[in-house]
Structure 1
Amino acid sequence: MSLFWRIFGLNAVVLGAATALLLWAPVTVSVPILLPEAAILLTGLGVMLVANAALLRIGLAPLDRLSRLMSTVDLLKPGQRLSAPVRGGIAEPVHAFNAMLDRLEAERATSSARALSAQETERRRIAAELHDEVGQSLTAVLLGLKRTADQAPDPLRGELLLAQETVRDSLDEVRRLARRLRPGVLEDLGLAAALTSLATDFATHTGMKVSRGIQSGLPPLEREAEVVIYRVAQEGLTNIARHAEADRAELAIHRTGSSVVLRIDDDGRGIGEAAEGAGIRGMRERALLLGATLDIAPSPAGGTRVLLTVPSAGKGARP
């Protein structure tokens, strides 16, 4: 039965019941109307309105749920669906909406995969240019300053040595940026070594104490999964440095059943009710690529916990 006929039927039932009461009830209406008769008529009208409203609310309840979900659905949090009635006109739009969400989530995952793949390619290109072009230029400047400082008189040598230290610091920063853009240790030594290097580098440059818990014997992961885990860990530590006001952080990865779980805890001020920024949404997009789940919640330490659960797979896995 279509929605139109369902609503028509509900109203017909209410109006038919009211008509039957008027036909067979021993109540008459005088002219002019008497107060008891007016009270009976108004009571009957009230009963009809209440019954009609209750029946319509029951019949249209799935549409209310559909409207609320449409206003709050987030494609980065998949699996949000409505349970449709077994039959009736309302089941059709609910099924259509659920099917639309299926298509949108699949298209979003495909487009995100392409965008993130292009992003990784561009990061590798920029890292190579930083290392090969900018790094070599700064190295040449550094060597030139050293030769000049060796031949310069004492009053000028101090300034040249200071300039040499500035260039050396800039060269170190360029190399650090290149490593962040293209984690060579991940490609060469694997995920555990890359996460260890990431935590050490983070602690060195922020002064924060970072504890590590890298379980040995992790199941084999696809190369894409290793990149996603590394990038989520990188973004999570970056968010701690920028926003958490924390003194300690913990980076851990372990095996749970057939899944690999990455956990990042801090003792900062917590995420609270703040809206998710581009960094967290980027983490969710990466998790979607693998069918992984990303949970961000308060940490037992008082700050924030980031939990990434990645299903392991053998296809394309690193040996």
Structure 2
Amino acid sequence: MPRLSMPLFWRVCLINGAVFLLGTLVLALSPATVSARPLLSELVVLLLGLTVIVLVNGALLRTVLRPLDRLTAVTGQIDLRHPGLRLDEEESGPARPLVRGFNAMLERLEVERSTSTARALQAQEAERQRIAQELHDEVGQSLTAVLLGLRHLMDTAPERSRAELDELRGTTRTSLEEVRRISERLRPGDLTELGLVSALAGLARATSARNGPVVRRSLPSAVPELSSETELVIYRVAQEALTNVVRHARAGTVDLSLALSDAGLVLRVVDDGVGIPPGAMGAGIQGMLERAQMIGGELDVRSHGERGRRSGTEVRLSLPLPRRAEP
């Protein structure tokens, strides 16, 4: 059976009416009287009675309107990138229906944002897969054909042209390697073929090989069985974190670790670079945060000191382990 709820306006009117009625009854039943020309003592009594009425009315209205003040304060703190903020319904008193509706609205907004973010990230991954496939099949094969043609020309070209052809062949080979590298970043083949641990190890080696900082890795020999979506999120967060280190941190070393505990799985990328300003939220960090929330994880990005000093930055992704079905 649905609960009847009185509108807030009528609650305020009812409180005021009850207070005024009570004050009227007290004056009517009390022996106090007021002369045609009020005496000072009578004015004091009236003033005290008015003060009591105002205080009682204010105390009763405070119980009704206090949740609205909390609601106003919480509204300014809402950030759908950090879900979970709610008002306490038990302490809302007469405004409980309003607070319950506000919390329900927040929950719907968070669910809708999470769903739309998941769809956007899935579409992004699908587009990356398509571009990677086209780079491999179209551009890669074309460059391979050019290399074969240049090799054939070098066998038949005069001696004076071979040096130029060899230089052109080296440029083409470098371009082919770059296309393959870009394709690998768009579609991590190691992740599907060799698993998460091997893919992270390969990512660390590739980062160090591209004139980047030295990446020291600490990875387990195996991890519990994870969904393909979860593995992809872990890989993408590590990839984005290492990319940010190479581009912005000016770091000498980076520690990449994946640790397993009773609480869950923790990915950490820690560098010894210049750090980031507090509260920084660029597109890369925002993307990592949305990916983490999509699989129920928590992302924490913090600097170990002041901006401009070699304080270092830590990116920490915490994921709960999937529960095993009891036999």
TM-score category (smaller protein): 0.7 to 0.9
The match for 2:317 among 298, 303, 308 is: 308
Residue 96 of structure 1 is aligned with which of 98, 101, 108?
A: 101
Question: What does the per-residue CA deviation read over 1:29-53, in whole Å, with 9 as the maximum and x for residues that have no partner?
Answer: 989xx9xx99999999999888877
Counterpart-to-counterpart distance in 1, 2:282 and 2:11:
45
Q: Which residue of 2 aligns with 1:172?
A: 177
Q: Distance in 2 between matches of 1:247 and 1:29?
A: 93
Aligned equivalents of 2:43, 2:247: Cα separation in 1: 71
Q: Are 2:231 and 1:226 aligned?
A: yes
Q: Does 1:83 align with 2:88?
A: yes
Secondary structure of residue in 2 paired with 1:156: helix
Whole-angstrom CA distance in 1 between matches of 2:34 and 2:48:
13
Matched letter for residue 104 of structure 1: L
- CA change 1:17–1:257 in 2 (3 A) is same
Residue segments in structure 1 that go unaligned for 5+ positions in a row: none
SS in structure 2 at match of 1:63 = helix
Query: In the TM superposition, what whole-angstrom CA distance separates every residue of 1:242-295 from its partner, at most 9, and x where no partner exists?
Result: 233322221110111152111111222323235412222222222222212222
- The answer as to whether partners of 2:63 and 2:93 remain within 8 angstroms in 1 is no
Q: Distance in 2 between matches of 1:15 and 1:308?
A: 60
2:67 is matched with 62
Q: Using the alignment, how far apart are the partners of 1:10 and 1:253 within structure 2?
A: 60
TM-score for both structures, normalised by structure 2: 0.80
Whether 1:217 aligns to 2:232 is no
Map of 1:182 onto structure 2: 187
CA contact (8 A) 1:219 1:260 kept: no
CA deviation after TM superposition for structure 1 residue 173, in Å: 0.6
**1:54/1:243 Cα in 2 relative to 1: closer, same or farther (>3 Å)?**
farther
Separation in 2 of the partners of 1:270 and 1:43?
A: 64
Residue 293 of structure 2 corresponds to: 288
Q: Kindly indicate whether residue 106 of structure 2 is the aligned counterpart of residue 121 of structure 1.
A: no
Deviations 1:215-234 (A, max 9, x none): 22322211211111111111
Corresponding residue for residue 153 of structure 2: 148
Distance 1:297 1:12, change over 3 A: farther
- Residues 17 and 182 of structure 1: is their aligned pair in 2 closer, same or farther, counting only changes over 3 Å? same
The verdict on how the C-alpha distance between 1:279 and 1:262 changes in structure 2, with shifts beyond 3 A counting, is: same
Give the equivalent residue in structure 1 for 2:275: 270
> How far apart are the structure 2 equivalents of 1:143 and 1:25?
114
2:140 to 135, 143, 158: 135
**1:108-154, CA deviations, whole angstroms, 9 ceiling, x for partnerless residues?**
22222222222222211211111111011111112222332343334
Matches of 2:152 and 2:323 in 1, distance apart?
Answer: 54
Q: 1:48 to 1:272 in 2, by over 3 A?
A: farther
**Contact in 1 for aligned 2:64/2:93 (Cα 8 Å):** no
How far the C-alpha of 1:192 sits from its partner, in A, is: 0.3
Question: 1: CA distance between counterparts of 2:74 and 2:211?
Answer: 42
User: Are positions 1:236 and 2:245 aligned together?
Assistant: no
**Higher RCO (C-alpha 8 Å, min separation 6):** 1
Q: Is the 8 A contact 2:219 2:257 kept in 1?
A: yes
Q: TM-score, normalised by structure 1?
A: 0.81
Does the 8 Å CA contact 2:64/2:94 hold for their aligned counterparts?
no
Q: Which AA in structure 2 matches 1:152?
A: A
